A and B are shown apart, each in its own frame.
Chain A
Amino acid sequence: EAQVTQNPRYLITVTGKKLTVTCSQNMNHEYMSWYRQDPGLGLRQIYYSMNVEVTDKGDVPEGYKVSRKEKRNFPLILESPSPNQTSLYFCASSLSNTGSRRPQHFGDGTRLSIL
């Protein structure tokens, strides 16, 4: 089954404790991205990756890191999480060699709470 898999689905942690949210897709998609979703603000893009070893900042990259060492995986790293990073996070991928032009498939989401 074609899918985008995120882990964990839920996480409650404390300020400053490094965490990683994993994202994996099995569709051989080139384009992957991370979003956060907050009430009233909609989905905002954090980082995206056009292909392996190619990443770029989205709308709200501060406080986040990503890496793309393999085509299928695109982890999101919070080196020193803060309460303002409490949010619902989505990973997405698309079959595209033209950036975000193609439709994106979303994972089920990760709800992070930073205390």
Chain B
Amino acid sequence: QKEVEQNSGPLSVPEGAIASLNCTYSDRGSQSFFWYRQYSGKSPELIMFIYSNGDKEDGRFTAQLNKASQYVSLLIRDSQPSDSATYLCAVNRRNDMRFGAGTRLTVKP
């Protein structure tokens, strides 16, 4: 079992729809959870981070964390074609970091 798992996709949604990206992790001691967006050939860019159970909203983005289920998700409302990218889930584990392989999202006009 991978330490951080994501569906590789591709996930395709129409413009204006809600995109839902999911991530599970195996280490119950994980403390911090991050979502990065990565455009092809570019470096990862932080979208959201969340430390506590529940929801955290920032503009069109909402991160959800459920530590009991070891599950973290990212919702993108009113998806735009510019949101088309690979989304990486990252989980801190003591002093190191583990990334999922990423979910490729395509938003179709």
Residues of A within 8 A of B (CB): 33, 35, 40-45, 48, 50, 56, 58-59, 90, 99-109
Provide the residues of chain A in CB contact with B96, threshold 8 Å. Answer: 33, 45, 48, 56, 58-59, 99-100
Q: In the complex, which of the residues A90, A100, A102, A103 has the most CB atoms of chain B within 10 Å of its own CB atom?
A: A100
Contact B94 A40 (CB under 8 A): no
Residues of B within 8 A of A (CB): 8, 31-32, 34, 42-46, 49, 51, 88, 90, 92-102
Closest to A42 in B: B101
Taking a contact as CB atoms closer than 8 A, the residue among B34, B46, B88, B97 that contacts A33 in the complex is B97
A111 CB → nearest B CB, Å: 9
Contact B101 A50 (CB under 8 A): no
Provide the residues of chain A in CB contact with B102, threshold 8 Å. Answer: 42
If A42-B102, A43-B88, A99-B92 touch, does A104 touch B43 (CB 8 Å cutoff)?
no
Taking a contact as CB atoms closer than 8 A, the residue among B43, B92, B93 that contacts A107 in the complex is B43
Contact A99 B98 (CB under 8 A): no
